Chain A
Amino acid sequence: MSRLSIFLLLTVTASALMLVHSQYETRRLFMALESAKKEAKRLEIDEDRLQVERRAQATPLRVEQIARQQLQMRTASPAITQYVSISDGNVSVKGSQP
């Protein structure tokens, strides 16, 4: 066999092996990307779920109950509120004063 033939045979074999390797590499990276995407989706869903949970912990009913019973708070009425209005940079305090 001529030298050229041997050279070409080796080149073709190397190229074929490279192809196999890169195909393998592609699939491996693709899989990694897939699982990362899956994780992202999972975290997104988790965020939604936690938002709902946070909201459920802060419904007006619950806030009101805790404020009244545990913290001994009561609803603000105009009688115990100072209203501060800002117009053109002038701050004026109106309403009830202590």
Chain B
Amino acid sequence: MSRSVQLSSSPLLASKTPVWRSKFIVAAIALGFMGLVGRAAYVQVIANDFFLRQGEVRFARTLSLPANRGRVLDRNGMLLASSVPAPSLWANPEDIERDPAKLRELARLLEMSPAELDKKLKDDEKTFVWLRRQMDEPVVKQILALNIKGVYDIKEYKRLYPEGEAAAHIVGFTNVEDQGQEGVELVFQNQLAGKPGSRRVIKDRFHRVVEAVGETVPPVDGQDLQLSIDSKVQFFAYQKLREAVLEHKAKAGSVVVLDAQSGEILALANYPSYSPDKRVNLSGEQLRNRALTDTFEPGSTMKPFAVALALEKGLVKPETPIQTAPGRITITGSTITDAHPHGVLSVNEVIQKSSNVGTVKMAMQMQPREMWEMFAQVGFGQKPQLPFPGVVSGRLRPYKTWRPIEQATMSYGYGISGSLFQVARAYTVFARDGEVVPATLMKAEHQVAGVRVISAENAKAMRKMLQMAAGPGGTAQKAQTMGYSVGGKTGTAHKQEGKGYAGKKYRGFFVGMAPIEAPRIVVAVMIDEPSNGRYYGGDVAAPVFSQTVQQTLRLMGVQPDMAVKPQFVVKSVEESF
């Protein structure tokens, strides 16, 4: 039989250790628990915010939601500028995988030499270098497929300009950061640029978005802009201008096409131009939007305004004879001459033959103030209401400072200056039966009200004179088109250089409208320094006018107002059975 032993008297428990040990253990454990409680209080109460934030940093991400830049459209909704994705590649030289074969392949796809690529990646202190920006998407996919460690892509957008150099000066371009630099892209930067949005999300360890937290700020896309430009007219005008500048070995040229009724700019082109997609080695010459930013003395194209004022003031009638013999007139010691002496001319013929003497004789009967008002009302010396960079107002001096000789020269376009655009707009006064309308680059939604400058009757009389100038016996017979009656005025001006006039340097212009009975368009052409023998506006600029008018009116669906000899070729086809 076994002997039971009482627990309390078990020899095993007869400890010889001192009591303080057990007390010490209890105290240590209690202290440990207190530490835990303290820590818990710290984490949960005191530094709660900090830990919440740290946790969020580890799984929550803020994604930026890019906004699209608005498109630029022409009046028919054709694209002039649009953004497409063009990813950029960057690398981290610190931890890039330096596998020679892969790097060679990378260099090939980046279209750079291996040495160039090496140079970019040489500095392994850096953690960020651009490899190439705004590349084609398929190439980027190929590169990412190489799976090189340390090479990454960033989503970016590139602006494309399908119209190319024809509309470059109007549309302008953006830089690599999508900021407008020139033209419409610059002027309407705020409207075109969108506002990027953002959202906060929780991502899992595969970087998949699993939950959205907080509020999402949606991106606001940029607005589309619809211009008054007609891309087909723009193209034809640019093409014809380019041909003319090359043919006459000229320095430059500009053409402006206005809708005579609404004041909308249908086309505005300059040569030389540039391709907004590929902007390398751009020169100032190419970038200049000459039609708006260059002023010049308009020469004979000013004469119709002086004559219109003479009609308006009742000084002359279209048939009033004016003695222009002997082709010279002297005003306060200075002599003004005609290219050819003409004898007695009617007012109509003064415009038709472009007689300086005849125009001056009419102008000298007017008050300087009246002339100044006329010129200012049609827009000379006034800044055009176009929100464009570098638009100039030209020069129209206050009438109080005019000397008689200046009043005389201004009547035929010297001593006054304006841009080609201003001249074109001024001619709407004749095209719109005596009213000028504000020109606009935006597609007009409503009928615009004009400001009356001369009476409708006088505007009609002026149109008849302009038609004569472009007809037989006039200075601009090359302005004729097939089917449409045209009218306009040539101008050939000595170029001003420094203080005087350059001997052999000219500008040839033509400004006109069609169809003459009820004009739909006003077209102005300027050819700068034609140097292939001929330099008269009627020779160099009028043909551009003629071709542009012909094409534009056809595109607008305007019915010809003149009889045309039909040229149908009817082939007789024998039917076979």
Q: Give A residues with C-beta under 8 Å from B.
A: 26-27, 30-31, 34, 45, 48-49, 51-52, 55-56, 59-61, 75-81, 83, 85, 94-98
Contacts and interface: CB of A to CB of B under 8 A. Distances in A.
A78 B162 CA distance: 30
A38 to B, nearest CB: 9
Interface of B: 68, 78-79, 82-85, 160, 162-164, 166, 204, 208-212, 231-232, 235-236, 239, 482-484, 550-551, 554, 559-560, 564-568, 570
A79 B564 contact: yes
B568 A31 contact: no
Contact of B162 (A52, A81, A98): A52
A30 B566 contact: no
Contacts of B483: 77-79
Interface centre among B82, B162, B564, B567 (most CB of A within 10 A): B162
Given A60-B232, A80-B568, A97-B566, A55 B79 contact: yes
A94 B235 contact: no
A75 B482 CA distance: 13
A78 B564 CA distance: 7
Contacts of B160: 52, 56
10 contacts: A30-B210, A31-B208, A48-B84, A49-B85, A76-B554, A77-B564, A78-B483, A80-B568, A83-B560, A94-B559
B84 A49 contact: yes
- Chain A binding surface SS class: helix
B64 to A, nearest CB: 14
B232 A56 contact: no
Contacts of B566: 79-80, 96-98
B378 to A, nearest CB: 32
Nearest to A42: B85
Contacts of A49: 84-85
B76 to A, nearest CB: 12
Contacts of A81: 560
Contact of B212 (A30, A45, A76): A30
B210 A27 contact: yes
A98 B569 CA distance: 8
Given A59-B164, A78-B482, A98-B568, A34 B232 contact: no
